[in-house]
């Protein structure tokens, strides 16, 4: 094998060469290529990073969690330059927000022609150990958008013991200096995605916080604010490290907090991982299955908010804001998990019995049991807030096939209609589909009482739909009558269900959830709602004779009033069009969280928490929406509306802390809701059969802050204290697929 000129060791006499891992002059070898959703949020975004893991590594870290591919020369498969180009194109076509080249350093020469071959439409990331030669990196100038190096050690002796590289510190600093020279300062787009720059990762090792503190100090002294920092808490012991028993455990919370405090004190911008990011479930599967990691439907981020701090110190600001939140009853701690679950379960039991309860427990008369017939087409209608989708759906091998999908404005949104005009327009929309099926699955996102025949009696249209005389109409019956009046087939078997129920059924189909996992549907967006599968003999509020053994219950859980309200909850409720109603929804859903952040921020300006310029700018600013809040949380000093309000770093820290506490409380209350349903159903007793939750809505999947906080409660309380397990996921085209399943399983 030729001498390697791509890594500092030169490899001629090194064990790396003897093991066959030097890439100089050798064919590219790829161990895995797939979407990866657990990179830093500004890299993965909502579509994931297109991660290509290369076999081998220029270092030999004895604690490496990817040792299956870093130390096994036979891992993965050889690929040509053209095959690699095809892999990258395929990842971009799947929605990758960036190309993520993982441990590529020993293949630099082979990768350069691939990177030069075309203009890549997404940023290219060089994700490396940092142990690289500046002269080799210079050959990449202009080809790499984002450098993502490690900086592992400030202690040369520790670098020698754990990675066999006593020169690691000086080598990595020289490499990062070249990376910064090429990329310049970090540049973000309006959505908070990193487009160009250098972000340095540092992994905290158990028992070695001194090395971490020295590493951070050295990075700050060398690069100032030229690099972003990603502090990793994900260390997972995968095998014994002889001579280092301290590496046989994960890091402790005290170790994380000690290093995180230094991050704030030194003034780094970037990310700090939660302790929950540690575990084998966060290690990619290198078995040869190039599937998204985790599956796109289960995308989650093990990172909390960006760790930006002001001159007074982040902890001082946080303490003062938390004191204000406690004083006004808005702090997450003002609601107890134990008491909240007990109150929620009591409300469920009362609703099932037909007793007065904060929320009704509506039978849907829709069962999730049975096998989906193959090839049987269903007309599916999805009536949302402003749009109506129609499609033909059938199942092949249990998987959905969606054809002839179209989208129309929901009748009554463009201009007010009479009931007859509304029905006439619906008939026109349905006309092309009627010859294809005699069944209709109708997802209807408006208040309606579901009837035993699976039709629904409309309470009233809301949102932006205005149809006079429609109150009390039976949705399916009146639609079929209008079809017959137009000399069209009007004898279809029709099942009406709301979006929460459709989401649950769509998730069960998409993820093949078994009966022993139960099933919970959860929506968090503009509003919130929950449904779940209940034994019919427990539903005492309605006559269940002739019904299946189980059915889905629609809880209308947003009406729950058992949580402790704070001062600004009461103010917001008084300002709403429905005071005294849907109190839980007003504490967690997107539109209301934006209003709460606005109200509290305005109150804090009167107490001197913000600079004069921030206060002046805020006085001319309308209420924040969750899109603006999320963009700011992702990138507090980026090009976004809320960042523009902030005059000082302290303004940013204060506003971030307000947003963080509101998000924390929302996650806690949502957790109480979900945990109560899991405990009520008795599911999730084993990690092998976790309770199945299909969740939909921007409040969960588009929010930068929410999901990591929810998962923290799940891991710490549900798994750690209550010994229950869940899997939360989402389904593609859930409303269409779920509505089709309802029509096929319930006729």
Residues 329 and 278 in one domain: no
CATH no. for residue 630?
3.40.367.20
Cα–Cα dist 132/9, whole Å = 9
What average pLDDT does this structure show over 640-654? Answer: 89
Structural domain contains residue 557: no
Neighbours of 493 (CB within 10 A): 17
Q: What is the pTM of this model?
A: 0.62
Please tell me whether residues 383 and 284 are part of one structural domain: no
Residue 65 DSSP label: T
- End position of a domain, from candidates 249, 269, 298: 298
3-class SS of residue 369: coil
Q: What is the pLDDT of residue 16?
A: 35
Overall residue count recorded for the chain in this entry = 747
- Per cent of the chain over pLDDT 70 is 90
Domain finish residue from 482, 497, 512: 497
In angstroms, the CA 104 to CA 136 distance is 12
Helical ranges in 641-722 per DSSP H: 641-645, 649-681, 698-701, 706-713
Question: Is the residue at 554 inside a domain?
Answer: no
Ranges of H-type helices in 607-648: 612-619, 626-634, 641-645
Query: What's the pLDDT at 303?
Result: 46
Do 472 and 374 lie in one domain? The reply is yes
Domain-located, residue 329: yes
The predicted pLDDT at position 278 comes to 61
What is the 3 state secondary structure string of 122-154? Answer: CCEEEEECCCCCHHHHHHHCCCCCEEEEECCCC
Residue 478 has pLDDT above 70, yes or no: yes
Residue 139 confidence (pLDDT) above 60: yes
Domain shared by 373 and 327, yes or no:
no
pLDDT for 26: 62
Residue 506: closest CA among 622, 639, 378: 378
Question: Reduced to 3 states, what is the DSSP secondary structure of residue 508?
Answer: helix
Three state DSSP letters for 81-114: HHHHHHHHHHHHHCCCCEEEEECCHHHHHHHHHH
Range of the domain at 78: 27-298
Structure-token pair, residue 22: 């030097």
Q: Tokens in use for 130?
A: 């940092």
Q: Comparing 168 with 315, which gets the higher pLDDT?
A: 168
Bridge-based pairing of strands 378-383 and 362-363 is unpaired
Percent of the chain residues past pLDDT 90, beyond the cut: 57
pLDDT at position 20: 39
Q: Are residues 60 and 179 in the same domain?
A: yes
Q: Is residue 176 packed enough to be buried (19+ CB in 10 Å), middle (13-18) or exposed (0-12)?
A: buried
Same domain, 142 and 239: yes
Query: Do 282 and 327 lie in a common domain?
Result: no
Chain-centroid distance of CA 159 in Å reads 35
CA 338-340-343 angle, 5° bins: 110
Task: Specify if 534 maps to a domain.
Answer: no
Strand order in the sheet with 387-396: 399-409, 387-396, 378-383, 439-444, 493-497
Residue 72: pLDDT band (50, 70, 90) is confident
Q: What is the mean pLDDT of residues 554-570?
A: 94
As beta bridge partners, residue 524 has 528
Instruction: Round to whole Å and give the CA distance between 368 and 508.
Output: 8
Within a domain: residue 242? Answer: yes
CATH number, position 407? 3.30.420.40
Flag whether pLDDT at 522 surpasses 70.
yes
- Count helices and strands (H / E) in the chain: 25, 25
83 with 178, same domain: the answer is yes
Q: What is the mean pLDDT of residues 146-166?
A: 94
pLDDT in tens, 585-632: 999 998 899 999 999 999 999 999 999 999 999 999 888 988 899 888
State the average pLDDT over residues 673-681.
96
CATH of residue 58: 3.20.20.70
In a domain, 303, yes or no: no
Q: Is the pLDDT of residue 8 over 80?
A: no
Q: Which residue has the higher pLDDT, 36 or 443?
A: 443
User: Minimum mean pLDDT among 186-190, 256-260, 310-314: which range?
Assistant: 310-314
What pLDDT, on the 0 to 100 scale, is given for residue 275? 75
Number of domains the chain contains? 3
Residues 586, 466 share a domain = no
Residues 574 and 693 in one domain: yes
Let me know if residue 399 belongs to a domain.
yes
Q: Any idea which of 133-142, 266-275, 732-741 has the lowest mean pLDDT?
A: 266-275
Instruction: Name 620's Cβ contacts closer than 8 Å, sequence gap at least 6.
Output: none
Establish if 284 belongs to a structural domain.
Answer: yes
Higher pLDDT, 304 or 68: 68
């Amino acid at each position: 094998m030729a001498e390697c000129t791509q890594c500092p060791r030169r490899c001629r006499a090194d064990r790396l060469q003897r093991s066959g891992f030097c890439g100089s002059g050798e064919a590219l070898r790829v161990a895995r290529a797939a979407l990866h959703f657990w990179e830093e949020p500004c890299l993965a975004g909502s579509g994931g990073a297109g991660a290509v893991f290369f076999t081998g590594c220029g270092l030999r870290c004895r604690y490496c969690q990817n040792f299956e591919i870093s130390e096994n020369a036979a891992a993965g498969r050889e690929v040509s330059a053209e095959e690699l180009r095809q892999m990258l194109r395929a990842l971009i076509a799947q929605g990758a927000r960036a190309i993520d080249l993982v441990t590529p350093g020993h293949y630099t020469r082979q990768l350069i022609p691939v990177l030069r071959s075309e203009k890549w439409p997404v940023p290219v990331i060089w994700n490396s150990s940092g142990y690289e030669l500046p002269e080799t990196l210079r050959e990449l100038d202009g080809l790499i958008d984002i450098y993502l190096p490690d900086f592992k050690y400030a202690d040369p002796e520790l670098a020698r013991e754990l990675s066999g590289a006593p020169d690691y510190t000086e080598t990595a600093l020289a490499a990062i200096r070249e990376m910064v020279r090429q990329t310049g300062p970090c540049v973000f787009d309006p959505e908070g995605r990193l487009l160009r720059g250098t972000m340095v990762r540092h992994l905290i090792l158990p028992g070695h916080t001194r090395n971490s503190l020295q590493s951070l100090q050295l990075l700050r002294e060398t690069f100032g604010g030229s690099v972003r920092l990603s502090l990793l808490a994900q260390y997972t012991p995968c095998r014994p490290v002889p001579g280092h028993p301290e590496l046989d455990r994960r890091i402790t919370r005290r170790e994380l907090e000690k290093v995180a405090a230094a991050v704030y004190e030194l003034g780094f911008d970037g990310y700090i991982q939660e302790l929950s990011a540690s575990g084998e479930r966060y290690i990619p599967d290198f078995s040869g299955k190039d599937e998204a990691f985790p599956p796109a439907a289960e995308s989650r981020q093990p990172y909390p908010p960006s760790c930006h701090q002001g001159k007074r110190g982040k902890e001082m600001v946080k303490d003062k804001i938390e004191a204000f939140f406690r004083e006004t009853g808005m702090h997450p701690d003002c609601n107890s998990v134990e008491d909240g679950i007990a109150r929620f379960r009591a409300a469920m039991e009362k609703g099932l019995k037909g007793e007065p309860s904060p929320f009704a427990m509506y039978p849907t008369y829709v069962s999730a049991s049975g096998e989906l017939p193959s090839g049987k087409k269903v007309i599916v209608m999805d009536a949302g807030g402003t749009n109506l989708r129609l499609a033909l759906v059938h199942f092949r091998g249990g998987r959905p096939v969606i054809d002839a999908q179209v989208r129309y404005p929901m009748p009554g949104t463009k201009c007010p209609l009479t009931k007859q005009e509304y029905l006439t327009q619906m008939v026109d929309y349905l006309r092309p589909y009627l010859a294809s099926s005699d069944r209709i699955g109708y997802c209807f996102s408006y208040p309606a009482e579901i009837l035993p025949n699976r039709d629904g009696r409309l309470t009233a249209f809301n949102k932006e739909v205005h149809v006079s005389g429609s109150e009390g109409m039976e949705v399916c019956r009146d639609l079929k009558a209008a079809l017959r009046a137009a000399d069209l087939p009007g004898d279809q078997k029709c099942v009406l269900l709301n979006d929460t129920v459709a989401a649950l059924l769509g998730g069960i189909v998409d993820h093949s959830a078994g009966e022993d996992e139960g099933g919970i549907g959860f929506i968090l967006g503009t509003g919130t709602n929950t449904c779940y599968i209940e034994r019919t003999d427990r539903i005492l509020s309605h006559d269940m004779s002739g019904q299946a053994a189980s059915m889905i219950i629609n809880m209308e859980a947003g009406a729950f009033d058992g949580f402790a309200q704070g001062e600004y909850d009461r103010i917001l409720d008084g300002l709403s069009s429905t005071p005294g109603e849907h109190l839980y929804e007003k504490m967690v859903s997107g539109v209301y969280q934006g209003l709460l952040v606005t109200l509290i921020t305005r109150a804090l300006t009167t107490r001197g928490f913000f600079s004069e310029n921030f206060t002046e700018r805020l006085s001319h600013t309308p209420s924040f929406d969750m899109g603006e809040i999320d963009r700011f949380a992702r990138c507090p000093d980026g090009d976004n509306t809320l960042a523009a309000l902030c005059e000082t770093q302290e303004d940013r820290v204060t506003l971030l802390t307000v947003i963080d506490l509101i998000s924390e409380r929302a996650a806690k209350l949502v957790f109480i809701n979900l945990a109560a349903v899991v405990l009520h159903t008795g599911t999730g007793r084993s990690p092998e059969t976790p309770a199945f939750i299909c969740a939909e809505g921007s409040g969960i999947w588009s929010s930068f802050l929410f999901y990591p906080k929810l998962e923290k409660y799940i891991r710490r309380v549900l798994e750690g204290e209550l010994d229950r397990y869940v899997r939360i996921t989402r389904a593609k085209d859930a409303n269409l697929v779920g509505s089709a399943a309802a029509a096929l399983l319930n006729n």
